[in-house]
Structure 1
Amino acid sequence: MTPTWPVLAPAPDTPPAGPSHPHPGTGHILTRYADVHAALVDPSCRVPVAEPGLPGTLAGLRGAVSRFSAPADHPSRRAVGVAALAPLDPEALRGHAALLTAAALDAAHDRVDVVSALARRVPVRLLAVRLGFADPDAVVPAVAAVAAAYQPGAEPAVVRRADGAVAALTALAPPEPFEALANRIGLLVQACDATAGLICAGARHLLATAERPATGGDLVELLAEVLRLDPPVRGTRRITTAAVRLGGVDLPAGTPLLLRFDAANRDPVVFAEPDVFRPGRTVPALTFGAGPRGCPGQPHALRLAAGVLDVLRDRCRRVPGPVRYEPHPLLRVPTRLEVTPR
């Protein structure tokens, strides 16, 4: 029997896929799949680069990670993260994530907040162990403090907490040059935000409630469609370094760009019935990026999330009710999302 898949409306502030257009304070917004993909792979569209900072501080971390690196520095820094992930078998991570999730449910005996107890904890703790950090339980809150200030514009008090957290993580990490350590910490920060958001989106859309039966199917394939329809990272920024034509518009050098994954992933030119949850689509969502800066941890993130959801789907129902999200222009992580045993 062919399943009847639900229609999932976009978040209220998701723009429709359409022509690129200027926006005050943002520069130029790209919402169509082809335009966003073009900007991701065009070397003239560069990630905003962080200035170097003192090692052991947030500024030092941001100035050393591949995420905010200039093109000349990016390949070597990215290689550190790729090498750190290479020994990690994604399916083994899935199994260990399931074990930690089961232990958390066993200890709770009642309602569990997926955000704090699982999504922001399990991936970071597991990766901290695999990446050689001491005291993984101390790593989890430290990474959360760094993640809160990782993007530019954080309040001074949040930055100060992040400085202390970077110093703590430096002390817990194996001895190595700070640039290499920074890129290991960067992997943990990505797990704290993006993977946590994916787990929460999966729990919201794939878990049964009292009113809705559980969704069957392979979880990794289902999560790929969750990534398309409810991406935890809704967009990214670029700046043009030369004159470039995007979306039929000629843009001069120095134009800030906002690339909206959430809109591009619902582009009707690319995805038939774009609001329908239909696993197995042949065109990938852009949520993990594309080109030389595409996320190298995609298989790890998908399987870490699947490990948590394997157990939740087997043992829990989601508590019905509205879901509220942390205030952030580009991340989509709930403030709380509860499950209860069946």
Structure 2
Amino acid sequence: MTRHADLRTALTDPAFQVPPVETGPFGTLAWLRATVSRFSPPQRHADRRAVAVAALAPLDPDELRQDAARLTMAVLDRAGDQVDVIRELARPVPLRALADRLGFADPAAAGTAVAVVAAAYHPGVDPALTARADRAVEALLGLAPEGPPVVRANLIGLLVQACDATAGLIGAAAHHLLPPAGPAMPATAGTIDLLAEVLRLDPPVRATRRVTVDAVRLGEQDLPAGSPVLLRFDAANRDPQAFTDPARFQPGRPGAGLLTFGTGERGCPGDRHALALATGVFDVLRERCQRHPTPVRHEPHPTLRVPTHLEVSVR
């Protein structure tokens, strides 16, 4: 599905559900997937989402932004003339800041383990990645604050959800907006508006999957129960029925609403926190860095878009 209106319907209609996942022994990747709200069936989703919402509630987005900015400045101060935005900033900094505020012991180690879990998080990956992820989940459980298993699992889930998506947003913003390659950034445009437009034009999460549990009609198609559906955020965010002149970069544009964070009962509970973390990193980048005019390659993934690396010069 590619039309904005159809995605909004599919994200809010209970006839479309997240595909089920199988569980596994406690402390494994399969157990984590089956326990987090992201993959939970309808009868368990609300309670597990409430765990994530409660964990995020005390976190001030502005403090997260300041944490990310401080960590970014520290990296640049010791980086010399050049830095790889993805490896040294976009991946570790948001995870370290968020893990610290969520109460994980050794936030840097937690961030390293989360990256291993994130690489194998979606079902159907290489078994070798799954074995590494099992060990990383065990390590994260040891670093997580004390609490019931379902709470600890959903704290880890928050970090995993932030991992690639936030790194992809920071990488896309650096690629598109940092000089010398990027468009001129309007002097009045705040970083949040700039990042929102990057999320629309080059979203780090390109798509999400659903399966129909009832027969339903959507987008002039009759879908029987059990139909797999791929919802394309990248296409819906350029739908001319929702956004005027959709190919133009226009921070602060009016529109029908960005769908990259989802919507409805399964919309991202940490969208403000993710934007705050990305803002903290990018504010420092736009002040102190210039991008190298070299092609950007992205990691192979069916639904995510994260640069493999992105070199910048430090001023």
TM-score (norm 1): 0.89
1:253 is aligned, of 225, 250, 263, to: 225
Structure 1 residue 327 corresponds to structure 2 residue 300? yes
State the shift of 1:52 in Å.
2.5
Tell me, in whole angstroms, the C-alpha distance in 2 between the residues paired with 1:284 and 1:227.
Answer: 12
Q: Which residue of 2 aligns with 1:99?
A: 70
Summarize deviations over 1:268-297 as a string: whole Å, max 9, x none: 111111100011123221100011000011
Matches within 5 A, 1:1-342: 30-209=1-180, 216=187, 217-282=189-254, 283-342=256-315
> Which AA in structure 1 matches 2:137?
V
Rounded Cα–Cα distance in structure 2 between residues aligned with 1:290 and 1:192: 20
Q: Deviations over 1:74-121 (max 9, x none)?
A: 000000110111011111111111100000000101210010101100
Please list every run of at least 4 consecutive aligned residues from structure 1 whose deviation after the TM superposition is greater than 4 angstroms.
210-215
**Cα 1:211–1:187 shift into 2, 3 Å:** closer
Aligned equivalents of 1:37 and 1:202: distance in 2? 25
- For 2:150, give the aligned amino acid: E
Deviations 1:173-213 (A, max 9, x none): 12212111111001101111111111111111121127865
SS in 2 for 1:158: helix
Distance 1:181 1:328 in 2: 27
d(CA) in 1 for partners of 2:250, 2:139: 44
8 A contact 1:236–1:330 mirrored in 2? yes
Q: Displacement of 1:51 after TM fit?
A: 2.1
- Displacement of 1:59 in angstroms is 0.7
State the shift of 1:256 in Å: 0.3
Q: Report how far residue 215 of structure 1 moved.
A: 5.1
Q: Is the 8 A contact 1:220 1:306 kept in 2?
A: yes
1:22 corresponds to: none
Equivalent-residue separation in structure 2 for 1:254 and 1:55 (angstroms): 29
Q: Is the 8 A contact 1:207 1:215 kept in 2?
A: no
Identical positions, percent: 64
Q: 1:215 to 1:325 in 2, by over 3 A?
A: farther
Contact (CA 8 Å) 2:206, 2:304: kept in 1 or not?
yes
Cα deviation for residue 249 of structure 1 reads 1.2
TM-score, structure 2 length as denominator? 0.97
Q: Is contact 1:195-1:301 (8 Å) kept?
A: yes
More helix as a share of residues? 2
Contact 1:46-1:238 at 8 Å conserved across structures: yes
| Residue matched to 1:20 | none
Counterparts of 2:18 and 2:100, CA distance in 1: 30
Specify the SS of the correspondent of 2:22: coil
Q: Describe the SS at the equivalent of 1:133.
A: coil
Q: Which moved more, 1:282-291 or 1:258-267?
A: 282-291
Q: Does the residue aligned with 2:43 lie in a helix, a strand or coil?
A: coil
Do 1:40 and 1:290's aligned partners in 2 also have CA atoms closer than 8 Å? yes
- Alignment gaps of 5+ in structure 1: 1-29
* More deviation, 157-166/272-281: 272-281
Over 3 Å counting, the alpha-carbon distance change for 1:341 and 1:176 in structure 2 is same
8 Å CA contact 2:175, 2:181 repeated in 1: no
Q: How many residues align?
A: 313
State the alpha-carbon separation in 1 of the partners of residues 250 and 105 from structure 2. Answer: 42
Specify the SS of the correspondent of 2:214.
coil
Give the secondary structure class of the aligned counterpart of 1:270. Answer: coil
Q: Identify which range, 309-318 or 205-214, moves more after superposition.
A: 205-214
Change in Cα spacing, 1:319 to 1:70, as seen in structure 2 (3 Å) is same
- Deviation, 1:214, is 5.1
